[in-house]
Structure 1
Amino acid sequence: MEFMTGPSPISNAVAVLRCFSVDEPLLGVTDIAARIGLHKSSVSRILAILESEGLVERDEPTRRFRLGLGIIGIAGPLLADLDERRVAYPALRELAERTGETSALLLWNGSEAVSVEQIPSRHQVKHTTTLGTRYATTLSASVQVFLAAETAERVREALGGTDEELEAYLARLAEVSERGYAVNYGETSSEEVGVAAPVYDHRGEIVAAVLISAPRFRISPEQVTDLGKACAETAADVTRRLGGSPRAS
């Protein structure tokens, strides 16, 4: 009996798909080959198969590749079946109308916050991201919400840095838990403000985060408190809709 000693063809295909991102939606064969450590001929064969299935498509002017609409067909049933997403949608819409800013719902995959729903701001200038965008930066408001529920050792793994930095960050997470929402005031991007609040399930566990994101020029430090309270109220509403009990802050 033979055993596979290297990455399987499926693993290689997944690695190719994961190369694409919001910041780099178009990639060539050489780019992908360099990133995942495969020969260009192997990457070309993988892309040909993915293209035939509609999972990637070729950008004719540049001859590079982008993710195809077939990806949506695969992810669609999952997104439609997420209780958190379905329950949160009307609450997110009300939040966007109330604040005038973009509202979103994010889930935790163990190391990243992943955007699964979004209601764009009504303003012409706004901050939005595509569904599926992942956040791992520890200063991101949504990541703070999820890490506030993790152990100190898990936080250490995510943060890295010195003991002093860890202690300061753990103190910040304690404030997030006490206040009921997290703030990112231009810390991950000088042009963006984000506030996020936790959503709990019936077991009292954090299962999602409600996020408000806005251009920094439109939000003063004084307004952040109002946005945080609005975000926390919406998260509490979603929590109740999921059968959970909002935490007192």
Structure 2
Amino acid sequence: MAQETKNKDYTLSSVKNALLILRAFSMDKSEMKITEIAKELGMGKSTVSRIMSTLASEGFVEKNPETNQYRLGLTILSLASVCTSTFEIHKEAMPVLHDLSEKTGETSHLAILDEFDVIYLHKVESKHRVRAFTHIGKRNPTYCTSSGKILLAFNDELFLKETIERGLVPYTEQTITDEEHLRLDLQKVYQNGYAISKEELSDGVITVAAPIRDFTGRVIASVNIIGPKQRMTDHSLSTHIKKVVSAGKDISQRLGYMGSR
């Protein structure tokens, strides 16, 4: 019995380590060596090597023959496709995002909360040559992004408090790092029904976001557009805000939200 419990614990530990290794990959670290993974996660090199061999055999990772570094494999891509295709919000938002990007000329995103970060689920690229760099799966802080502010403003006090306690790190000179200032800003977001981030995460980049509600009226996601400040002027913002808010309402209605009841 003791041996069986020991084997079960070992198996669960191996599964957890495998998941930690897969999550170590990102857009910033799309390829890594075994020694790099081991150092980052605090695991033994032999442990990482053994797990990577198993993951590679199932197609979850693969070795780049040119760099001899590991990267995520096609199995991950196939699972991601299954996941996104089954998300109702993803399917309902896609045509609206395309329309929003066409009308504003800027890149549009669908974003949700993932723990204390905001993450992009879908993206429609701007046709302009000059545009902000973003990608599906990109994680950003909530308090200095328009999508994140929406998801903060329409969340509960406990979540906001925990977000603040984790630290309001300055990314630019425009980042709000004072708790009182942030709370006042989020109150305006809640009252206005949209959020703006003017160079708060990246210099020269402005974003506008609006809430997306499910059939119960709960805010579950946000829709935004992002562009350089040269195009996102005060004049164009007034028009863009209306279009982004309209897009948020459109997606919400597609998800069954009927407005105030």
TM-score (norm 2): 0.87
Q: Which residue of 2 aligns with 1:111?
A: 116
Say which of 3, 10, 17 aligns to 1:12. Answer: 17
**One-letter amino acid of the structure 2 residue matched with residue 57 of structure 1:** E
**One-letter amino acid of the structure 1 residue matched with residue 212 of structure 2:** V
Q: Which residue of 2 aligns with 1:29?
A: 34
Structure 1 vs Structure 2: percent identity of aligned residues? 32
**One-letter amino acid of the structure 1 residue matched with residue 113 of structure 2:** W
Deviations 1:41-67 (A, max 9, x none): 111122222222222222222211222
Whether contact under 8 Å (1:145, 1:176) holds in the other structure is yes
Say which of 193, 197, 200 aligns to 1:187. Answer: 200
Show structure 1 runs of 5+ residues with no match: none
Query: Aligned partners of 1:171, 1:151: CA distance in 2, in Å?
Result: 15
1:214 aligns with 2:208: no
SS in 2 for 1:189: coil
What value does the CA root-mean-square deviation take over the aligned residues? 2.1
Query: Aligned partners of 2:54, 2:214: CA distance in 1, in Å?
Result: 41
**One-letter amino acid of the structure 2 residue matched with residue 190 of structure 1:** D
Whether contact under 8 Å (1:102, 1:128) holds in the other structure is no
SS in 2 for 1:65: strand
1:238 aligns with 2:251: yes
Say which of 90, 94, 104 aligns to 2:99. Answer: 94
Q: Which residue of 2 aligns with 1:71?
A: 76
Q: Which residue of 2 aligns with 1:198?
A: 211
1:142 aligns with 2:147: yes
Deviations 1:123-166 (A, max 9, x none): 1222343322222342111111111122223212112359x922
Show structure 2 runs of 5+ residues with no match: 169-176
Query: Aligned partners of 1:142, 1:245: CA distance in 2, in Å?
Result: 22
Which deviates more, 49-58 or 140-149?
49-58
Query: Aligned partners of 1:124, 1:137: CA distance in 2, in Å?
Result: 27
TM-score (norm 1): 0.90
SS in 2 for 1:218: coil
SS in 1 for 2:209: strand
Query: Aligned partners of 1:68, 1:131: CA distance in 2, in Å?
Result: 17
* CA drift at 1:233: 0.9
Q: Which residue of 1 aligns with 2:172?
A: none
SS in 1 for 2:29: coil
1:57 aligns with 2:70: no
Whether contact under 8 Å (1:200, 1:246) holds in the other structure is no
Runs (4 or more) in structure 1 with deviation over 3 Å come to: none
Deviations 1:106-134 (A, max 9, x none): 12234222211111111122234332222
SS in 1 for 2:92: helix
Query: Aligned partners of 2:212, 2:259: CA distance in 1, in Å?
Result: 8
Q: Which residue of 2 aligns with 1:43?
A: 48
CA change 1:191–1:49 in 2 (3 A) is farther
Q: Which residue of 2 aligns with 1:122?
A: 127
Query: Aligned partners of 1:214, 1:58: CA distance in 2, in Å?
Result: 36
* CA drift at 1:5: 7.9
